């Protein structure tokens, strides 16, 4: 009787998991057929198959320029967030005086505070520095958003690192920078790379804060997709969505590989 109950519970949990996965992935798979539609609007059944919307997405304006902006901001902000987040995680792991918990909470605040509140605050703060509607302001904003996503994996990776190796490197004449580059970084590299990817994805996907900070010349891909939904709903949005889904799957595969390597 116990074995039957255990098997029944396993079947119910598995069925529930399958249903939840289907509900989460069904909207994503719904975008795939529409992106190949030969019609002028998003509708089922498809009037025919065509690659015209992928061709439209590949045009320099507006999609490719928005993609270049997103990639530029994402790569620069991810690089800055990786450096700052790694240094912060290293300092936290080495141990700080009283108030460490409050400091950790403060560093993780950008990933907890609602985007609208953060966007309004950044807008008024940047107004005094003339950083609104500038590439620099957008990079700074996305860097701050990405730092917490670097701190968490790097901080977790540092728990498995033996700091006696650092002292051994010092005893052999290594400078602090050489000890970090040749001893610490190779051991925590999977966590650093994972944090960098998360920071890049956070920047690449950010929309709400970008609406407050970015100007017409900093139009990112999420903002272009929102404008497309508001102004002219055509299957080019679905084509762009399919390309983003493919890109996201590649990044998630990379993160899983790095996580397994870290373990």
Domain assignment present for residue 213? The answer is: yes
CB 85 within 8 A of CB 154: yes
With beta carbons less than 8 A apart as the criterion, state whether 130 and 121 touch. Answer: no
Omega cis (within 30) before 45: yes
Grade residue 144 by pLDDT with cuts at 50, 70 and 90: very high
Q: Is residue 53 part of a domain?
A: no
For residue 56, the model assigns a pLDDT of: 82
Q: Which pLDDT belongs to residue 148? A: 92
User: Is 174 a domain residue?
Assistant: yes
What's the pLDDT tens digit per position in 45-69?
A: 777 778 888 888 888 788 888 888 9
DSSP structure class, residue 215: -
Is residue 11 included in any domain, yes or no? no
DSSP single-letter state for residue 113: S
Can you tell me the distance from the alpha carbon of 159 to that of 156, in angstroms, rounded to the nearest whole number?
6
| pTM score, whole prediction | 0.82
Q: Which helix (H) or strand (E) holds 226?
A: helix 221-231
| pLDDT on residue 6 | 75
- The pLDDT score that the predictor gives to residue 262 is 58
Provide the token pair at 42.
């998003």
Given a cut of 60, whether residue 98 has pLDDT beyond it is: no
Q: Is residue 2 part of a domain?
A: no
Q: What is the CATH number of the domain that holds 133?
A: 1.10.3720.10
Count of structural domains, the chain = 1
- 161 within some domain: yes
Grade residue 96 by pLDDT with cuts at 50, 70 and 90: low
- Top-confidence residue, 40 or 221: 221
CB 71 within 8 A of CB 228: no
33 is a domain residue: no
Residues 6+ apart with CB under 8 A from 252: none
**Phi, psi angles (nearest 5°) of residue 129:** -105, 5
Enclosing domain of residue 115: 61-262
Q: Which residues pair with 37 in a beta bridge?
A: 49
The per-residue pLDDT for 191 is 87
251 domain-assigned: yes
């Amino acid at each position: 009787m116990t074995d039957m109950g255990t098997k029944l519970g396993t079947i119910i949990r598995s069925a529930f998991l399958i249903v939840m996965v289907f509900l989460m992935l069904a909207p994503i798979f719904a975008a795939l057929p529409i992106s190949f539609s030969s019609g002028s609007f998003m509708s089922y059944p498809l009037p025919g198959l065509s690659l015209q919307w992928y061709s439209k997405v590949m045009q320099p304006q507006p999609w490719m320029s928005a993609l270049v902006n997103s990639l530029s901001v994402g790569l620069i902000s991810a690089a800055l967030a990786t450096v700052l987040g790694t240094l912060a995680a290293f300092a936290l792991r080495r141990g700080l005086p009283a108030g460490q918990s409050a400091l950790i909470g403060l560093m993780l605040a950008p990933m907890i505070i609602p985007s609208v509140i953060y966007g309004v605050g950044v807008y008024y703060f940047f107004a005094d520095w003339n950083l609104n509607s500038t590439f620099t302001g957008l990079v700074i904003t996305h860097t701050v958003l990405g730092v917490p996503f670097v701190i968490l994996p790097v901080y977790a990776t540092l728990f498995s690192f033996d700091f006696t190796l650092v002292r051994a490197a010092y005893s052999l004449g290594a400078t602090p920078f050489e000890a970090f580059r040749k001893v610490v970084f190779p051991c925590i590299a999977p966590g650093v790379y994972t944090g960098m990817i998360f920071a890049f994805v956070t920047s690449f996907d950010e929309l709400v804060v970008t609406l407050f900070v970015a100007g017409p010349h900093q139009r990112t891909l999420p903002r272009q997709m929102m404008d497309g939904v508001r102004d002219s709903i055509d299957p080019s949005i679905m084509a762009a969505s399919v390309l983003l889904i493919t890109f996201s799957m590649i990044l998630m595969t990379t993160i899983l590989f790095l996580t397994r390597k870290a373990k």
